[in-house]
Structure 1
């Protein structure tokens, strides 16, 4: 979390104000949800990664994520068919893991979480009619979340649900799932671009993702556009030089 001198509730207010301003402009579903997980990562204290899981039919998938840790742990749970993020998404219940080393639920997943470096996490259901999903927040430290952090995570989760509602209030749950499927296809392109960078520059998956994120910020283009450009041309998109 950046050392701005602001309290966590104040930083959360500022981040949500920026996100809510995006709702007034024309944005895609994936760009809005990406803004929510990025703000969650940047606002909560300590090192955290965030993601949004959705169930398209019965198939779970990660629509957006802020870093490789979140994606790896989401997909570990999908492969096993259980874990805190799936439980929150399906049951609608809040799940907190305070220390994965001593947690007795989902022991095979907990072993992987410890191995990957996540000792605590929050999984919060998305409050949406006709859609199962949730916000996942993974921290490297045990007991990383106090009451202010839990409240902030819940507010970011409601913001994600509001983004979906405002974008598709007139559509059915099937239409919402179709739009989230577009976000998943965008993620596939990002994964292709990451693979190119990992091979070419000998980066690991998280370093490749951050490389693309920095290029996105530098060029003021969506992460998906930067990734598509790299896959199509073999070149990393560069900022336009002013004369």
Structure 2
């Protein structure tokens, strides 16, 4: 069941953010959290397109990072299909799915069983796709499909509006900025894992939890970890 208060917060956040300059990578990380909170899914991820090729830029946890990396490397999966066709893709149980063998094996290996791929598209302009994950078989409802697509449309709005706010910044440059943020986050994640003898999943959650609890941007926190100014 959709929580109206969570939906209102997501819209309010979108309205505040869209009026000013912002980091595309940062707002997409925040949007994946909103997907989890609003739709009660277990994880979410976003990929953006560059020259018709998807690039993974944001996810809610380290397990999904591995799943999305396999999807991008293999060029197969619900995210790719949603992006190419412009239509949402819903899989209730990957254990009974015959498509995308590499992606399917990786997703199941990381405990992801049900998945939805949602296109990021406005007026025929496709910029990427959003993936939603559940750790158990799940029959996706019409309300979930509608609300998930609304969140994907918000992600599209973030990307396209950022381009309008800075006419000199191309979509490719926005994507590169998001990818650069991802590299810093991965470095910080690796440093925390090594420093505190954590799994990469535990380190990633520690990084994100600190950013959330202190109302800070995750890539700024990661910058400080990498620079030696912060230890979590």
TM-score, normalised by the number of residues in structure 2:
0.89
In the alignment, the residues of structure 2 paired with residue 26 and residue 170 of structure 1 have an alpha-carbon distance, to the nearest angstrom, of 7
Aligned to 2:34: 39
Aligned to 2:50: 56
Choose which of 75, 92, 106 in structure 2 pairs with 1:98. 92
Moved more, 8-17 or 90-99: 8-17
1:231 shift after superposition: 0.8
Q: CA RMSD in A?
A: 2.2
1:93 shift after superposition: 2.1
Aligned to 1:240: none
Query: Do the aligned partners of 2:119 and 2:149 also contact (CA within 8 Å) in 1?
Result: no
Q: What stretches of structure 1 of length at least 5 have no aligned partner?
A: 1-6, 238-243
Aligned to 2:156: 161
How many matched pairs?
230
Inter-CA distance 73–26: structure 2 relative to 1 (3 Å threshold): same
Note if 1:217 corresponds to 2:212: yes
Aligned to 2:182: 187
Moved more, 123-132 or 167-176: 167-176
TM-score, normalised by the number of residues in structure 1:
0.85
In the alignment, the residues of structure 1 paired with residue 8 and residue 172 of structure 2 have an alpha-carbon distance, to the nearest angstrom, of 29
In the alignment, the residues of structure 2 paired with residue 232 and residue 213 of structure 1 have an alpha-carbon distance, to the nearest angstrom, of 17
Q: What stretches of structure 2 of length at least 5 have no aligned partner?
A: none
Choose which of 174, 194, 201 in structure 2 pairs with 1:206. 201
Residue by residue over 1:80-104, the C-alpha shift from the partner in whole angstroms, topping out at 9 and shown as x without a partner, is 2211111111221211111000012
Query: Do the aligned partners of 2:56 and 2:68 also contact (CA within 8 Å) in 1?
Result: yes
Inter-CA distance 171–225: structure 2 relative to 1 (3 Å threshold): closer
- Greater C-alpha Rg: 1
Q: Which residues of 2 match residues 121-200 of structure 1 at below 5 A?
A: 121-128=115-122, 129-143=124-138, 145-169=140-164, 175-200=170-195
In the alignment, the residues of structure 1 paired with residue 23 and residue 169 of structure 2 have an alpha-carbon distance, to the nearest angstrom, of 17
